[in-house]
Amino acid sequence: MLTIGKTVENGKAILSPAGRLDTTTATELEGMIREVLPDTRELTLDFDKLEYISSAGLRVLLSTQKIMNAQGEMKIIHVNETVREIFDITGFSDILTIE
Amino acid sequence: MNESVKKNVNEKKPPLLANLRRRLTADEMFHETEIQANRLGALILISSGVILLVILILTALGVFLLPLESVFSPAVQAVAEIVILLIFCRAVKYDAWWLKPLLLIGLVIVYARLDSMLTHKAAILMVIPVVFSSRYFSRRLTIFTSLLSTVVFACSAYWGATHGLINLNIVTFPAGTVMTATGGFLGEAIQNAGATDEMLIANTMMFDYLPKWLMFSVVSIISCNIARRGRNMVITQHDKDVKSARIESELNLATSIQADMLPNRFPAFPDRTEFDICATMNPAKEVGGDFYDFFLVDDDHLCMVVADVSGKGIPAALFMMASKIILANNAMMGKSPAQILSDTNAAICANNREEMFVTVWLGILEISTGKLTAASAGHEYPAVKRADGSFELFKDKHGFVIGGMRGLQYKDYELTLEPGSKIFLYTDGVPEATDAENRMFGTERMLEALNSASAAGPEQILQSVRAAIDRFVKQAEQFDDLTMLCAEYKGMQGEKV
C-alpha cells in the first residue's frame, strides 16, 4: 500500500512515498522520518507517486513541519490535484511549503 | 440427632469415585483439548485395528512368516478390545470424564498383548500410548502413562519370552552345540536344543526389555515436555481470549455512549416551525472521530456543528468527546463562531501532546432573520441550496484545523438564508467513500444525490445521499466515518402555537 524511496546526503533528505497515505501506512512514513530527522537540515517530500492522503498522514506532516521549523526547512514537491485540494480545504497549504 | 447421622451416611457414599472424577475432570479450558485427544485416541485404535487385520490376513496367506496359531488368538482378542473401546467412545460422543483413562489403559493393554506375541518385532508399540498421552497436555497424565507402560510392557515381555516370537540374539549356547531343523521355524529348533524358560526370560528382560525401556524413557521425557508446553499454550490462548472478549464488550459499550452523546431524536425541535434539522453519524469502527452537534443557544439562535477528528477508532473518539464539549460550552456563552473556534483551539492546544487535530464547521443561525454566521477550521465546503436554486458547493474561507497550532484566530462569514433554503454539512468520509476499484464518490456525485432529493425535507435528503453512497460503494468496506447534517430554513411563517 505504501513504499517510500529515500535519498540522504549531507544534511539533505528526500523521501518519496508511493501509494496511499492512510491510518495504517502513516506510521511507516513517520518511522522513516524519525530515522532521518536528527541529521537533516533540508527535508524534501516528493509526492509525485502519492495518490491520496488522509488525516493520519496530515498529522505526520504537521508534527514533522513543527520540528523542521526549529531545525531547518521542509518542502513538498510534485503534489497532485487531489492532494492539493485536501491541503487547501484543511488550510494545510498555509502551513506547509508547497512547490 | 437423626439428621447428623443421615449426613454422615451420605458422605460415606462413593467419595473415592467422586474424588477420582473430580481429579480427572478437565478445567473448562481444557475440555475441548480433551475431546480432541479422545478423537485422536479413537483414530489410533481404528488404525491399529485395521493394521492388525491386515497382518492377520497376510499371515494366513503365508506372506508373513509367523506361526498363525500363536498369532491368531491374541490378535483377535486385541481387535475385540479395540472394537469395545470404540463403542464406548461413540456412545458418549468422545465426551466423558472416564474416557481419557479408559483409552490410555486400553491402548496400553492392546499393545502389550501384541507385544507379548510379536516381542522384538513390535518394539515401537511401547511408545505409542505415552506419545498419545501428551496430546492431553497434562504432564501428570503422561507420567502416569509412562509408569503404566513400564509395568505392563514388562509383564508382556516376561510372558512373550516364553510364548511369543523367540528372539534369536539373546540365547547363548556352549560352543559346538548342534541344532536340528525339525521342518518348522528356527525357534522350535532352538528350544529343542536346550534353551530353558528361565534362560529365555532372564535374557529377554536384560537384553531386550531393558534397552527398549531406556529408549522409551527418552520418548517419555519428550512427551512430558510436549504436554507441558501444550498446556502453557492453551492457558496463554485462553487468557488472550478472555482479554479480547472484555475489550470487545467495552468497545460495544463505548459505541453506545458515543451514539448517545450526539443529539439523535428526530424531529429535534418539533415545536419550532421556522426550521428543520436532521443529522447522522456512522463510525467506520466501533467508535469514531466524527461528530455533529446542534442546540439552541437561546430562543432565537440555533448553533450547528460538524467536525472530523484526525484518525479513527478509540484515540479519535476520546479526542472527539473532549472537542465536542469544549465547543458546546463556548457556544453556550453566546460567542461568535470565530471566537468559539479561537477559544476552543486555545483550550485544545494546551493539552495536545499527541498532536491530534479536528476540522470544524460551526454556524449560528439567527432564526428571526435567517442570517447565518459561520466559521470553518479546515473543514469541507458546505453545500447550500438557495430558495429557488439547487445545491452548490459554497467555497467558504477557512482557517487551519483546530489543535494544529497555538494562537490562531478565525474569521466569521455571513450568509443570508431565505425561507426554503437548505444547507448540507458533511465530513470527508462522504466524498472519499471508496468502491472496490479504489474510486472515490466525490463531491460531484454528492451534489447529484442532493439535487435529486432537493425538494424533500432534511431527513429524506440525508437518506438519498446515504443510498447513493451505498449504491456506489457496494461491497467495499467502509473506510472512514460517515457524518452528514442537513438543515432547512423555513422562515417566520406563522406564530408558534
| Predicted pLDDT at B197 | 81
Is residue B6 pLDDT above 50, yes or no?
no
The rounded distance, in Å, linking the Cα atoms of B224 and B218 is 10
| Predicted pLDDT at B463 | 93
Residue of B nearest to A96 (CA): B400
| Predicted pLDDT at B7 | 46
Show residues of chain A in contact with B400, CB under 8 Å.
90-92, 94-95
Is residue B153 pLDDT above 90, yes or no?
yes
**Once rounded to an integer, what is the mean pLDDT over residues B267-273?**
90
> At B5, is the pLDDT very low, low, confident or very high (cuts 50, 70, 90)?
very low
> At B284, is the pLDDT very low, low, confident or very high (cuts 50, 70, 90)?
confident
- Tell me phi and psi for residue A31, to 5 degrees: -60, -45
Environment class of B4 (CB within 10 Å of its CB; exposed 0-12, middle 13-18, buried 19+): exposed
B244 or B176, greater pLDDT: B244
**Which residue blocks in B92-135 are alpha helix, DSSP H?**
99-118, 127-133
**Once rounded to an integer, what is the mean pLDDT over residues B344-356?**
88
Chain A residues with CB-CB distance to B under 8 A? 22-23, 54-56, 58-59, 62-63, 66, 89-92, 94-95
Show residues of chain B in contact with A59, CB under 8 Å.
310-311, 355-357
**Once rounded to an integer, what is the mean pLDDT over residues B301-317?**
89
Is residue A99 pLDDT above 90, yes or no?
no
Interface test with B, best of A1, A52, A67, A90 (most B CBs within 10 A): A90
Interface test with A, best of B306, B309, B310 (most A CBs within 10 A): B310
Q: How far is B357 from chain A (nearest CA, A)?
A: 8
Is residue B497 pLDDT above 70, yes or no?
no
B190 or B218, greater pLDDT: B218
**Once rounded to an integer, what is the mean pLDDT over residues A24-47?**
88
B66 or B202, greater pLDDT: B202
Helix (H) or strand (E) segment spanning residue B296: strand B290-298
Mean pLDDT, all residues of chain B: 87
B147 or B208, greater pLDDT: B147
The rounded distance, in Å, linking the Cα atoms of B307 and B426 is 8
| Widest distance between CA atoms in chain A | 35
Q: Do A90 and B356 touch (CB under 8 A)?
A: no
Stretch 318-357 of chain B: residues touching chain A, C-beta under 8 Å:
355-357
Q: What would the pLDDT profile of B74-90 be if each residue is shown by its tens digit?
A: 888 889 999 999 999 99
Q: What would the pLDDT profile of B375-423 be if each residue is shown by its tens digit?
A: 999 999 999 999 888 999 999 888 999 998 888 889 999 999 999 999 9
| Predicted pLDDT at B489 | 94
What is the SS3 string spanning B202-227?
Answer: HHHHHHHHHHHHHHHHHHHHHHHHHH
Give the bridge partners for A77, in sequence order: A46
Instruction: Of B305, B300, B292, B306, give the one whose Cα is nearest residue B275.
Output: B300
Q: Is B30 on the interface with A (CB under 8 A)?
A: no
Picking from B41-45, B106-110, B282-286, B374-378, which range would have the lowest pLDDT averaged per residue?
B282-286
**pLDDT above 70 coverage of chain A, percent:** 100
Picking from A20-34, B134-148, B226-240, which range would have the lowest pLDDT averaged per residue?
A20-34
Is residue B9 pLDDT above 50, yes or no?
no
> At B13, is the pLDDT very low, low, confident or very high (cuts 50, 70, 90)?
low
C-alpha to C-alpha distances, A38 to A29, A67, A70, nearest whole angstrom: 15, 10, 12
